[in-house]
Amino acid sequence: MTSPKPLAGIRVLELARILAGPWCGQNLADLGADVVKVERPGAGDDTRSWGPPFVEAEAGGDLSAGYYHATNRGKRSITVEMDTPEGQATIRRLASKADILLENFKVGGLKKYGLDYASLSALNPRLIYCSVTGFGQDGPYAHRGGYDFMIQGMSGIMSITGEPEGEPMKTAVAFADVFTGMYATTAVLAALQGRQNTGRGCHIDMALFDTQIAVMGNQAMIQLLTGAPPPRFGNAHSSVVPYQVFPTSDGHIVIACGNDGQFRRLCGVLGTVWADDERYATNPARIVHRGTLIPLLMAETAKWTKADLLAAFEREVVPAGPINTLPEVFADPQVIHRRMTFDLDEPAAKGGKVPTLRGPIVVDGEPMVGRTASPGLGQHTDEVLADPNWS
């Protein structure tokens, strides 16, 4: 018999849409929480229409866009007219029973409905109330809306992403949104533990801008320590060499040597003596002389096929790997073994299934993934409002 998931019995009220807030909600659902997603009647979460592709319905039409299904599995959906007294009363009743509330309205947006933290914590002092905004609850930008692309531009990540002579580039995944959802998950789990000690909930203030700056990590340290902004290196690394894309006779691979021993083994595979050259023997020296070393390495790797070179590197424990397309990713034996994709039952979908990625958390051998497909708009309204756990 499977053990209960870690968050079994925890109730989450999600007043969030698009990505950062729902990503947090999906993480909590994967871990076993009962996540009730509150949506607007008619349209629902914006991402329901962010397609194609859409999940095809067995009876024709669709069951919302793939984007929506990427971040809402394992939840229940209700529809509520939040701008009506009746709708506000419904939210207050549900919040009085919730452990966690997630919202991503503009600062002050819920206060006019009496659904802000001060109002709801008076009803439920144990409520953990997590607000996700672009710029946080205070400061000169607090009133602004926040969008991932804009945040990537403002935070500095785009200034260091892309080829040196090219234009600044964003990441293909909504980096700021996803990281904010992950940090929000950490924050609410910490608040649950804190509540064990104090008996009270709290207000968590999550900002996309804060998050994106916080994850600049070692790149931010370059600026803080030297006073000079780090340049764009394309696929190369500012502090480690060789650590970039290299050509082979039939494509490209990644080589990621993190220490001098790995570089020496790389040179052994390639049949060179560069590891004994004082210009290249240590990582600091390789940083200084990358301009001469990298062309030498590229000339040697280009003599090999991808398969042969990767096999040789694996034998000698040199960190290297292929540059996969998504079809290659999902055909990879490690990905298949780890069951990174699931088909979730959904009778209304064409073929009765909806594909999903699982979250990366595994507890006692069990992958943590919500076992129900993303809900239809308002699918569980009657069920939730009659649920004794929520009334």
- For residue range 111-150, list pLDDT tens digits in order: 999 999 999 999 999 999 999 999 999 999 999 999 999 9
Alpha carbon 199 to its chain centroid, in Å, reads: 30
User: Domain for residue 2, yes or no?
Assistant: no
Q: Is 36 found in the same domain as 119? A: yes
User: Domain for residue 108, yes or no?
Assistant: yes
Q: Read off the pLDDT band of 3 (50, 70, 90).
A: confident
Q: For residues 295 and 272, what is the distance between their CA atoms, to the nearest angstrom?
A: 14
Convert 260-291 to b/e letters by CB count within 10 Å (16 or more is b). bebbbbbbebbeeebbebeebeebebbeebbe
Q: Is 308 found in the same domain as 247? A: yes
Q: Is 179 found in the same domain as 210? A: yes
Q: Is 291 found in the same domain as 367? A: no
For the residues 194-221, what does the mean pLDDT come to? 97
Residues 6 or more apart whose Cβ sits within 8 Å of residue 289: 279, 280
Amino acid making up residue 276: D
Q: Compute CA distances 142 → 137, 151, 180, 194, whole Å.
A: 6, 13, 16, 27
Q: Is 258 found in the same domain as 355? A: no
Rounded to 10 deg, the angle between the 306-315 and 260-270 helix axes is 130
For the residues 263-271, what does the mean pLDDT come to? 97
Q: Is 248 found in the same domain as 118? A: no
List pLDDT tens digits, range 40-77. 999 999 999 999 999 999 999 999 999 999 999 999 99
User: Domain for residue 226, yes or no?
Assistant: no
Q: Is 57 found in the same domain as 147? A: yes
Q: Read off the pLDDT band of 305 (50, 70, 90).
A: very high
Q: Is 149 found in the same domain as 94? A: yes
Find the catalytic residue in 34, 148, 177, 205.
Answer: 177
Q: Read off the pLDDT band of 329 (50, 70, 90).
A: very high
Q: Compute CA distances 328 → 271, 305, 343, whole Å.
A: 30, 18, 19
Within the chain, where are the H helices?
20-30, 66-69, 85-95, 117-123, 148-155, 175-198, 208-214, 217-226, 260-270, 283-288, 290-301, 306-315, 326-331, 333-337, 381-385
pTM attached to this predicted model = 0.94
Please report, for the domain that includes residue 168, its CATH number.
Answer: 3.40.50.10540
Of 3 and 245, which is predicted with more confidence? 245
User: Domain for residue 1, yes or no?
Assistant: no
Q: Is 287 found in the same domain as 344? A: no
Q: Which residue, of 273, 298, 324, is where some domain finishes?
A: 324
List pLDDT tens digits, range 7-47. 999 999 999 999 999 999 999 999 999 999 999 999 999 99
Give yes or no for residue 1 having a pLDDT over 60. Answer: no
List pLDDT tens digits, range 339-376. 999 999 999 999 999 999 999 999 999 999 999 999 99
Domain of residue 248: give its range: 243-324
User: Domain for residue 381, yes or no?
Assistant: yes
Q: Which residue, of 324, 345, 377, is where some domain finishes?
A: 324
User: Domain for residue 6, yes or no?
Assistant: no
Q: Is 276 found in the same domain as 370? A: no
Q: Is 356 found in the same domain as 252? A: no
User: Domain for residue 3, yes or no?
Assistant: no
Contacts 24+ apart (CB under 8 A), 273-276: none
Q: Is 127 found in the same domain as 33? A: yes
Structure tokens belonging to residue 298: 């590229």
Look over the chain and give the mean of its residue pLDDT values, rounded to a whole number: 96
Please report, for the domain that includes residue 261, its CATH number.
Answer: 3.30.1540.10
Q: Which residue, of 282, 300, 324, is where some domain finishes?
A: 324
Q: For residues 226 and 183, what is the distance between their CA atoms, to the nearest angstrom?
A: 28
Structure tokens belonging to residue 251: 């494509």
Give yes or no for residue 161 having a pLDDT over 80. Answer: yes
For the residues 266-279, what does the mean pLDDT come to? 96
46 given a catalytic annotation? no
Q: Check residue 352 and give left, alpha or beta (phi > 0: left; psi -120 to 50: alpha).
A: left
- Cβ proximity of 278 and 289 under 8 Å: no
- Cβ proximity of 390 and 384 under 8 Å: yes
Alpha carbon 320 to its chain centroid, in Å, reads: 25
Q: For residues 304 and 189, what is the distance between their CA atoms, to the nearest angstrom?
A: 49
- What per-residue confidence (pLDDT) applies to 391? 87
User: Domain for residue 103, yes or no?
Assistant: yes
Number of domains in the chain: 2
